[in-house]
Amino acid sequence: MRLWGGRFEGGPADALARLSVSVHFDWRLVPYDLLASRAHARVLNRAGLLSDDELARMLAAIDDLEEACRSGAFRPTVADEDVHTALERGLLERLGTLGGKLRAGRSRNDQIATDLRLYLRDHVRTIVSRLVELETALMSQAEQHADTAAPGMTHLQHAQPVSFGHQLLAHVHPLTRDIERLRDWDRRAAVSPLGSGALAGSSLPLDPQAVAAELGFDAAAPNSMDAVADRDFAAEFLFCAAMIGIHLSRLGEEIVLWASQEFRWIEMDDAYSTGSSIMPQKKNPDVAELARGKSGRLIGSLMSLLTTLKGLPLTYNRDLQEDKEPVFDAVDTLLLVLPAVSGLVSTMRVNTAKLESSASDGFALATDLAELLVRKGVVFREAHEAVGHLVVWCQVNDKEFGDLTDEELAKISPHFGGDVRDVLSVPGALASRKAYGGTAPDRVRDQLAALREAVDAQAAWATGA
């Protein structure tokens, strides 16, 4: 059953039919296509092109078809080119010739662009809900570990002690930005292509604005040619998805490190770790690794669509059918990965003792020492030098800062007195970083309170509450 048989004498070659078919992946658009069909039927009725009785029968048939699709009683066949073809067949089966009236003023070009926007706006809300769950898991751990000192790193080398809660919240902020990006995306995606027809609009007295409102869009597209050609919304969604993938990958990489024998910062729950088929002792961070690995396909999906779009002339070109699989794969991937990462984070046990005992390793309080000297009036450049010498002296003599006697300190620099020991405290070092945005546990608690408010608003947006 083709939608375009009239001017052709023969049927399509098998090779063309196989190349052309998209119903095996666009079938998931059924609920959105039918939603748009209901809106279109109403607009045809208002335009006097469908009687009240016909409209009632049409809407009943659409409901019946939707139920049949849901139950599996109606399935696409190999002869259905795409979801639109299959659903028109379903309406013809139910309504006879009346089923063919719905196509008036409508093309698959404006239909598919509308369906994909509806699908994405719906699924973006689900993705945001899953992101909120991950934010919440990270924030709960951060709340418990605001006072837990941890080695803070740059270049993966011990740098300065930080609150482990601060570090966990540093993974929440990127996710809040991801959600804000999706909310911002949603404003631009809220434009309805329906009514644009194939490319030029319709000579029938349709009402694209009314259709847009009925479908929950903010407006109808102001240019029919742009409306059927535009896939910015799909590419922009894929960028948002790729960025989320990158954030999950960076978190995943940290968790892989934290769970290693070398770090031992966390113990993963059995439910979120895997074993080895040969080494009985192994407990592997597969969830974190898959989160890291899946970022590759998310980035790939973005590249794939951008490459497809580049250089396409106006308006609709069949190339655009290639927009759907990367978009669907990105949605599926995020909905698969996010719950697993949330579970991993919420169930991991933090090894507080290990974190605290290594927080000052690698002379991580050196900056605090230098800043003590600055407070005593020493030029920072000199203070930096003096502490640097102290580090070398300690390394050569196999000592920590805390082991040094007053005589040893004085020998290295006249600036060092016994008060040096006052700043050689990890809790003191944390508490002293109390300016806005710093790692002082009190600031971390403030930060957490502000984040909770922002995340509540994000959760409410996702559910329409």
Residues that bind ligand ARG (CB under 6 A): 22, 26, 82, 108-109, 112, 316, 318, 320-321
Of 22 and 360, nearer to ligand ARG (C-beta) is 22
Of 4 and 380, nearer to ligand ARG (C-beta) is 4
Residues 386 and 349: their CA atoms lie apart, in Å, by 40
The distance of closest approach from Cβ of residue 318 to ligand ARG in the complex, given in angstroms and rounded to an integer, is: 6
Query: Which residues contact residue 191 at a Cβ distance below 8 angstroms, ignoring those fewer than 6 apart?
Result: 117, 212, 217, 218, 219, 220, 221, 227
The distance of closest approach from Cβ of residue 320 to ligand ARG in the complex, given in angstroms and rounded to an integer, is: 5
The distance of closest approach from Cβ of residue 196 to ligand ARG in the complex, given in angstroms and rounded to an integer, is: 12
Which of the residues 51, 260, 276, 357 is marked catalytic?
276
Has 171 been annotated as catalytic?
no
> How far is residue 106 CA from its own chain's centroid?
33
Tell me the backbone φ, ψ of residue 456, rounded to 5 degrees.
-60, -45
Of 114 and 249, nearer to ligand ARG (C-beta) is 114
Of 45 and 109, nearer to ligand ARG (C-beta) is 109
Which of the residues 71, 155, 203, 277 is marked catalytic?
155
End-to-end alpha-carbon separation of the chain, Å?
43
Of 191 and 228, nearer to ligand ARG (C-beta) is 228
The distance of closest approach from Cβ of residue 115 to ligand ARG in the complex, given in angstroms and rounded to an integer, is: 9
The distance of closest approach from Cβ of residue 121 to ligand ARG in the complex, given in angstroms and rounded to an integer, is: 18
**Cross-strand pairs, 152:** 160
The distance of closest approach from Cβ of residue 109 to ligand ARG in the complex, given in angstroms and rounded to an integer, is: 5
**Cross-strand pairs, 274:** 284
Of 106 and 433, nearer to ligand ARG (C-beta) is 106
Has 276 been annotated as catalytic?
yes
Of 148 and 202, nearer to ligand ARG (C-beta) is 202
The distance of closest approach from Cβ of residue 4 to ligand ARG in the complex, given in angstroms and rounded to an integer, is: 8
Catalytic annotation, residues: 155, 276
